[in-house]
Amino acid sequence: MPRLVSHPDEVKIVSRRFGMGATSIDRYLELGGYEPVKKCLAQGPEWIIEEIKASGLRGRGGAGFSTGMKWSFVPKQSAKPKYILVNGDESEPGTCKDHLIFLHDPHAVIEGTIIAGLAVGAKMGFIYLRGEYRYLLEIMERAVADAYERGFLGSKIFGSEAEFQIVTQTGAGAYEVGEESALMESLEGKRGIPRIKPPFPAVVGLYGGPTVINNAETIATVPHIIAMGAAAYAALGTPRNGGTRLFCISGHVERPGVYELPLGYNLKKMIYEVAGGIPDGHKLKAVVPGGSSTPVLLPEEIDIGMDFDQVGKAGSMLGSGGVVVIDDHTCMVEFALRIISFYAHESCGWCIPCREGTDWLKKSLTRFHAGFGSLSDIDNIQYLAENMLGRTFCPLGDAAAMPTIAFVKKFRKEFEDHLNGKPCPYAREGVPQLTVV
């Protein structure tokens, strides 16, 4: 069972019910659950959308698009059924927040999904978990069954005239399916290849119907916003960055864990105070602020507030909230290689720049890390990554290219230290060298 952590600076909104037995529907009700959805039923769709817009809630999957805006793009009238699709295909390395939501508060996801359905006029929702989360699917399935039993789901929810059905399922191992249009493909029983956009899912989505796709954390936040009021939620964060986020602090810290902190919380403080700093007397070398696809930050770059705008200004991205802390005993070439190996493994292969680019970056970095590189390789790696950037069919190519460019630019010396057949100068004793086949 994943360890729960806490820190006084935390503002527990989404994680409020973590560890409180809220998987039980009775307990969830005791803790105030399913009241927000009743309020929404009474207030109607326009009110819900305005409330979510006013809360400043931005997508927690990584792109940070305004949730209220996204909902408002769904046409009021549609010949085809509309759908809500909850993206629980949590796959960005460094990110494990949805894991805890499904584990501790499945009804919040259900309730948020129903509210989204009420807001846009959808009668069906899908909750898609990544394939590895089978035990979480079982928790979700039980929660959904309980909700049906109580009449919270089905043809007349909460005794109203509204209908809402929920289907839960898992994927079968594919990072790319986290991309929203690839997710729809997967849910339709196909290879997880993204779709051409436009049309956007809000207009033509799942089974051709208008579809809202939200990250699981985003959806789980919705009932809390309804409960506490949009203004109160917005006030928690920084301007244009409403509320809190589940930050997943992992890597070289004393107390790794998922902490719920207001948006704009200082990154340096997060690492040194909330997570307890770097263990073993080591020093900080670098921080990946928002999951593996976000450009790495140097120690001197981390005195920033963790919101979409400030991290963006620092040259990186807030992403999925996965903060990966790297100490000074780590080889950054190896780290870059590990990241690019991941993207090479996960590239769907659809478009040339991503398929061939990730494969070549992986091959080149493998050789380079093994000490068989040349000076021109460093430039070639950068050239390659720069030529993938913005040229691929979906953001996965960018996700591979952006961190690579940052690694080469910010740690060029470490790359140069691998030249001339030298063994990796940063290898720790007793630690097996990463070799990628």
Partner 1 sequence: MPEVTFTVDGKKLRAPAGTLLIDACRKAGIEIPAFCYYPGLSLQAACRMCVVRQEKVPKLQTACTTTVAEGQVFITESPEIAQARKATIQLLLGNHPLDCPVCDAGGECELQDMTFKYGAGESLYAEAKHHRDEQQWSPAVFYDRPRCILCYRCVRMCGEGMDVWALGVSGRGADSLIVPNQPNQLDCEQCGMCIDVCPVGALTSGSYRYKTRPWEMTHVSTVCTHCADGCTVTLGVRQTSDGSEIVRADNRDKNGINGDFLCAKGRFGFDFVESPDRLRQPLVRSNGRLEPASWEHAIRLAASKLKEIRDTRGGAAIGVIGSNRTTNEENYLLQKFARTVLHTNNIDHERSTDYAALARALAGQSGKTASLRDIASACAILLIGGNPTDEHPLLAWLLRTNVRLNRARLYIANAKPIKLTRQAKDALKIKSGDYNDLPASLDAGRSAFAKAIRAEGSLLVIFGEEMRGEAVEKLVAWGVKRGNVRFACLGDHSNSRGAADMGLLPDLLPGYVPVAAPGAFSEYPNLPATPGKSLPQMIEAAGKGELGALLVVGADPVATRKLDPTLFNSTFLVVQDLFLTETAALADVVFPAASLYEKSGTVTNTFGDLQLLRKGADRAGVKPDFEILVRLAGGIIDDIKTLVPFGQRGVTGDLGQSRGAQAGEADRHAIWLEANGLEPKLSPFDPLAILDEIERLVPGYPLDRINLFAGNDVHTKLSSPGYVPVAELAGSGLIAPAHDTLFTSGRLGRWSEALKQLAQHQAKELVETAAD
Partner 2 sequence: MSPKSKKEKSKSAPVFSAELAARFDALVEKYPVKRSALIPMLLYAQDEAGYLSDAVVAEVARRIGITELEVRDVASYYSMLRFKPAGRYNIQVCTNISCMLRGAYEVSERFQEELGIGPQGVTPDGLFSLEEVECIGACCWAPAVQVNYDFHDEIRPDHVLGILSGYRGKIRPAEKDPAKEPAKGTPPHA
Residues that bind partner 1 (CB under 8 A): 174, 191, 196, 344-353, 355-360, 363-364, 367, 377, 380, 383-384, 387, 390-393
* Backbone φ, ψ for residue 195 (5° rounding): -95, 160
d(CA 236, CA 58): 13
d(CA 306, CA 264): 4
Residue type, 396: L
What are the structure tokens assigned to 46, written together?
A: 């326009």
Q: Which does 131 bind (CB under 5 to 8 A by kind): partner 2, partner 1, none?
A: partner 2
What separation, in Å, do the N-terminal and C-terminal C-alpha atoms of the chain show? 32
d(CA 338, CA 335): 5
Region near partner 2 per CB under 8 A, out of 110-118, 187-195, 224-232, 394-402: 187-195
* Backbone φ, ψ for residue 23 (5° rounding): -65, -25
What are the structure tokens assigned to 337, written together?
A: 């290689």
Binders in 193-212 for partner 2, by CB under 8 A: 207
118 to 157: interface string for partner 2, x by CB under 8 A:
------x-----xxxxxx--x-------------------
Q: In 3D, which of 56, 75, 153, 57 has the Cα closest to residue 114?
A: 153
Residue type, 255: R
Instruction: Taking each helix axis as running N to C, give the angle between helix 106-120 and helix 97-104, from 0 to 180 degrees, rounded to the nearest 10.
Output: 100
Q: Rule CB under 8 A: choose which of 322, 353, 357, 373 binds partner 2.
A: 322
Region near partner 2 per CB under 8 A, out of 30-38, 261-269, 321-329, 379-387: 321-329
Least separation in angstroms between residue 354's CB and partner 2 is 15
Nearer CB in complex with partner 2: 174/202? 174
Q: Which residue has the tokens 């290219």?
A: 401
Nearer CB in complex with partner 1: 29/63? 63
d(CA 306, CA 411): 23
Q: How far, rounded to the nearest angstrom, does the alpha carbon of residue 206 sit from its chain's CA centroid?
A: 21
Q: Which does 339 bind (CB under 5 to 8 A by kind): partner 2, partner 1, none?
A: partner 2
Q: Which does 391 bind (CB under 5 to 8 A by kind): partner 2, partner 1, none?
A: partner 1
Q: Which does 92 bind (CB under 5 to 8 A by kind): partner 2, partner 1, none?
A: partner 2
347 to 386: interface string for partner 2, x by CB under 8 A:
-x--------------------------------------
Nearer CB in complex with partner 1: 53/130? 130
Least separation in angstroms between residue 424's CB and partner 1 is 19
Q: Rule CB under 8 A: choose which of 56, 64, 251, 357 binds partner 2.
A: 251
156's CB contacts (< 8 A; 6+ apart) are 162, 163
Q: Which does 357 bind (CB under 5 to 8 A by kind): partner 2, partner 1, none?
A: partner 1
Least separation in angstroms between residue 339's CB and partner 1 is 15
The answer to the question of residue 92 lying near partner 2 (CB under 8 A) is yes
Q: Residue 273 carries which DSSP code?
A: I
Q: Which does 188 bind (CB under 5 to 8 A by kind): partner 1, partner 2, none?
A: partner 2
d(CA 308, CA 404): 21
Half-sphere exposure of 327 (CA within 13 A, CB side): 16
Alpha helices in 189-274 (DSSP H): 216-228, 230-236, 267-269
d(CA 428, CA 284): 16
Least separation in angstroms between residue 276's CB and partner 2 is 13
d(CA 203, CA 219): 20
d(CA 316, CA 267): 13
Region near partner 2 per CB under 8 A, out of 18-26, 262-270, 297-305, 425-433: 425-433
Least separation in angstroms between residue 239's CB and partner 2 is 29
Q: Which residue has the tokens 């809390």?
A: 224
Region near partner 2 per CB under 8 A, out of 10-18, 189-197, 374-382, 393-401: 189-197
Q: Which does 363 bind (CB under 5 to 8 A by kind): partner 1, partner 2, none?
A: partner 1
d(CA 327, CA 329): 6
d(CA 336, CA 116): 39
The answer to the question of residue 99 lying near partner 2 (CB under 8 A) is yes
Least separation in angstroms between residue 67's CB and partner 2 is 22
Judged by the rule CB under 8 A, the positions of this chain that interact with partner 2 are: 1-3, 5, 81, 90-96, 98-99, 124, 130-135, 138, 167, 169-175, 186-192, 207, 248-252, 256-258, 288, 292, 322, 324, 326-327, 330, 335, 338-339, 342, 345-346, 348, 430-432, 434
